[in-house]
A and B are shown apart, each in its own frame.
Chain A
Amino acid sequence: MNNPKSKSRKNGLEPVENSVPAPLPLDVSLDANLQALEQRIGQSSDVVIRRFTNESLSSLSLAFVYIDGLVNSETINRTLLQPLMETFTPEGASITPDDAFSLIKDQVLPIGGVKEGKTLESLLALLFEGYTLIFLDGLQQALAADTSGSEKRSINEPTSQGVIRGPKEGFTESLRTGTSMLRRRLKTSDLRIEEYKIGQRTQTGVALVYINGLASEQVIAEIRRRLDAIHTDAILESNYIEEFIQDGGLTPFPTIQNTERPDAMAGGILEGQVGILIDGTPFALLAPSTFFNFFQSSEDYYQRFDISSFLRLIRYSAFFVSMLLPALYIAVTTFHQEMLPTTLLISLAAQREGVPLPALAEALLMELTFDVLREAGVRMPRTIGPAISIVGALVLGQSAVQAGLVSAAMVIVVSFTAISNFVIPSLAIANSIRLIRFVMMLIAATLGLFGIMSFLMVLLIHMAGLRSFGVPYLSPVAPMTPRYLKDIFIRVPLWNMTTRPKTNLGKETRRQGPHQEPKPAEGKPQPEQGGSSS
């Protein structure tokens, strides 16, 4: 772990630093500027440079530069080309380049975002965002007009976090779409969106979203600090950010949630969490997150509280099943046969009779097979989906049992474990459990139930020590705050949840007024006289 490699990684920032040249001020000459530009971005075929002159600007030379594909050519034609090519000054008036610049900027361009740039660097940054640069001959600055309009995926249903009841729109890859979705849900002036550009080469937009007053100041400051500290060349997905900012430490547990659902994100932000949207991925982050957040699904709040509570309890049991079942099978069949009911033991013994492998090998074989199948299912082209299930279910499951390689009980254990794993709403924690499961199996095979118990304790101690941006990972259970258990193991009715979870608390703690439970109007419905007398 601490070999020379990691040291070089620590200092591995140099190549990134070297690739960034010093800011280059623009030249007076248009030709020189364009040349410098071409030199910087090479002869890339998607860069469009168009030069022209306009009579009314005393035949000044102009040039536009934009990147095809990042811009909306309709906008360019209508709002740049057309006005610039028209005559817009009294005939014969002679204009200096300075006048022309302010004229174009202030009068000619019917376009929202127009910026100025004096260095090639700043202009290039805008160019890559889809702006069109307008250079004027004889001027040491240039204009950049917002013509961005690249191809975008339309808003679709989230694929990883589906609900039956509830909004069906998910984030898209576009950061702007994401912030707009949140803005539409949280129509409050306290909503803050702070943008960062992270990654030397990708310049990925990252937006910090929170509600001023709800989110804890310290947490926001800490996230800002950690975001600022990221020094890397590329951010391609939210996990890049997640790994850079999550509380360090060797832990299999995620301490930052990710979600594809704007409604889940809005819910989190309203509870004082801080959202982080990343350009180029539909998965946004929510922090700080505790262990129990990973068992809450946004649908919990879209259906009756009793049903949600029941489902949530099922999820917690599924968590334990998914983590422990194969380990328990191994422990019980190799160490603690006396713990099983006799009939079950005999039936297990009958199945194990022809199996040549010890229970651990049998379990590892099947669990690994399942994970291979699952991975294959994710990576393969959609069209061969049925083939995978046939191979998985029939060829591997059925015939492995018939061939006497594994026992039927093991197949049941593996499938139940797998299905339990799918019940957990957060893929992040489900994957952690997958990993823990294997460790648990090995421990069960060496130390039996005693080992399972010890390892569970070690896990618990580890979790109790974890923190997500200062919030204890197991709060509000450890440290125990009974008042905030209303949304942990069960979900109480909404009218009973009057305060926000303490864990992420900012200044404003009250979510809604008390005593909102539905009840009949005051007093009994009475005959008319009775009613009038009181």
Chain B
Amino acid sequence: MVQTETKGLGLMSTGRKLGLKARAARCLVCTLVCTSMVTGCWDDRELSELGITSGSAYDWEDNQWKATYQVINPSSGASSMGGGGGGSGSSPPFLTFTVKGNTIMDAIDRSNLTSTREMFFSHSRVTVIGEKLARRGINQLIDFFLRKQDARETVYVFIAKGNAGDILNQLMQLTKNQGAGIQLMIEQEARLTSYFPGVRLFQLAMALSSESGSAVIPEILLTGDEIMDETSETGRTDLPSRLALGRLGVLKGDRLVGWLSQQEAFGLSFLTNKINQASLSFPTQPETSAKIDGSFLLQHASTKIRPVWENDHYVMDVSITGSGVITEIGSPMDLNNRASIAQMERTIGENILETVKQSWVSVKRLNADVTGFAMTIHRSDRKRWKQIEADKSWDEVFGNIEIRPRIHVSIERMGLSNKSFKTVQQD
């Protein structure tokens, strides 16, 4: 049997190129040893050395950056099957660190003085900017995000009135990872309600550096007074304080210049073609009563904007088309009647028109081009744009813009019944 073993090795020595092969093998071994020694695992990070941040918040306090990091606490993970062992239910799903520094990186470095783990930003989902910081200017923050290797530009940006760090302390229900929870909230909102577009950091950077130089950031706020930051409180079915989306912050340059209400933000979504799906309430019989008793689910909407130079100012031809389904009717109506449907379409259209106009008034008041009209004009009328750019007169031109919105809404379906239930009852 000894014989057979030597034969097993004999594979290498069968050929005549023994010397060559041995040299090649030695070379390979050397390379392998060198790779593992020289390049080695110098940049490896075990999972247990990482503080996975799910969100960060930045404030301006005492002329310093105040950064708050929300770090996921893995040992509270639901999968208690793991080696965690002591994953007791009372440990919070995340921990927050607040650190101050002259620069953001300074603050992050100081977090290493307080944390056992290296901050790891690649899984951050949201970043919250305090109002004070937003009023001071956020370009340094954007620069930091674009520059740092493990920071992602896809984080959603929010503005918080007051202290942004508090937002990250609030526990959310139905989610262990609050950063991801906020992200889900804004994504879902943008998809289903379309009041606020979710703004990612790169979009913010692009908007601020575009011709308009303006951008919007949704506000995130606490609905109650106190912060619910104790794990025991998630045991309640209804928290007295929750995270909610509030208004829309308007930035010009890199500073916060004002707010748009939800309704105004909704109008802006129409103007900027950011509508995915939205629910609208309207009076079904505006002639007889102003009672709002119908709902319309706008399923598709698109906005086309055409700038027209008229005498001395721009007029924006805004044409909005939309279609959707009727989801609720509170008055007796015969839907077999084509005229009543046309009537409803008209009413819905007027409602939207009203919203858009109101929104435009507010935008104009702030004189921040969050509608992106500058880009539209640049694209459609390059000559005049060059002139405007040379004169640096965009603010003035923007202030004189008129909008001429037109809307066409079509009701595509009305559900299963051609009559409202009220009609059925009355019959």
Query: Interface residues, chain A, CB within 8 Å of chain B?
Result: 1-2, 6, 9-10, 12, 232-234, 236, 240, 243-244, 248-250, 333-335, 337-338, 342-343, 345-355, 358-359, 401, 404-409, 442, 445-448, 451
Contact = CB atoms under 8 A, between A and B. Distances in A.
Contacts of A451: 35
Given A243-B11, A350-B87, A446 B81 contact: no
Contacts of B120: 337
A201 to B, nearest CB: 10
Contacts of B10: 9, 243
B342 interface: no
B264 to A, nearest CB: 33
Contacts of B75: 350, 353-354
Interface residues of B, number: 52
Contacts of A248: 11-12, 14-15
Given A250-B25, A351-B79, A446-B39, 4 more contacts: A240-B4, A342-B177, A351-B77, A446-B36
Given A343-B177, A351-B84, A334 B3 contact: no
B12 A337 contact: no
Interface in B69-117: 72, 74-77, 79, 81-87
Given A240-B7, A243-B8, A346-B72, A334 B41 contact: yes
Contacts of B48: 349, 352-353, 355
Interface string B360-393: 0000000000000000000000000000000000
23 contacts: A232-B3, A232-B7, A234-B4, A240-B4, A250-B25, A337-B45, A337-B47, A337-B50, A342-B123, A345-B52, A347-B77, A349-B48, A349-B52, A350-B82, A351-B81, A351-B82, A351-B84, A352-B82, A353-B74, A401-B83, A445-B41, A445-B44, A451-B35
Name the residue in B41, B50, B180 with the highest tally of chain A Cβ atoms < 10 Å from its Cβ.
Answer: B41
A146 B217 CA distance: 98
Contacts of B12: 1, 248, 250
Contacts of A232: 3, 7
Contacts of A2: 18-19, 22
Nearest to A358: B46
A354 B180 CA distance: 25
B43 interface: yes
A243 B7 CA distance: 8
Nearest to A354: B83
B251 to A, nearest CB: 28
Given A248-B11, A335-B43, A337-B47, A346 B52 contact: yes
A6 B18 contact: yes
Contact of B47 (A12, A349, A446): A349
A343 B10 CA distance: 51
A187 to B, nearest CB: 38
A354 B84 CA distance: 5
B286 interface: no
Contacts of A351: 77, 79, 81-84
B122 interface: yes
Contacts of B77: 346-347, 349-351, 353
B184 to A, nearest CB: 11
B40 interface: yes
Contacts of A352: 46-48, 74, 82-83
A447 B76 CA distance: 31
A406 B4 CA distance: 38
Given A354-B83, A446-B36, A335 B44 contact: yes
Interface string B23-67: 001000000000110011101111110101010000000000000
A461 to B, nearest CB: 13
The 3 closest A-B pairs by CB, nearest first: A350-B77, A351-B82, A338-B122
A34 to B, nearest CB: 33
B140 to A, nearest CB: 24
B291 interface: no
A321 B239 CA distance: 46
Contact of B85 (A1, A335, A346, A404): A404
Nearest to B51: A349
A93 B64 CA distance: 132
Nearest to A233: B3
Contacts of A333: 46-47
Contacts of B81: 351, 401, 408
B46 A350 contact: no
A446 B7 contact: no
B412 interface: no
Contacts of A249: 15, 21
A28 to B, nearest CB: 40
Contacts of A9: 6, 10, 13
A446 B44 CA distance: 8
B35 A447 contact: yes
A345 B52 CA distance: 9
Nearest to B16: A248
A362 to B, nearest CB: 10
B230 interface: no
A342 B125 contact: yes
Contacts of A240: 4, 7
A347 B76 CA distance: 10
Nearest to B11: A243
Interface in B160-187: 176-177, 180
B226 interface: no
B395 interface: no
A473 to B, nearest CB: 16
A249 B17 CA distance: 9
A204 B301 CA distance: 83
B396 interface: no
B150 interface: yes
B200 to A, nearest CB: 16
B395 to A, nearest CB: 41
A244 B4 CA distance: 11
B41 A408 contact: no
Nearest to A330: B44
Name the residue in A249, A335, A346 with the highest tally of chain B Cβ atoms < 10 Å from its Cβ.
Answer: A346
Nearest to B18: A2
B74 A349 contact: yes
B35 A446 contact: yes
B208 to A, nearest CB: 26
Contacts of A12: 6
Contact of A359 (B46, B76, B82): B46
Contacts of B72: 346, 349
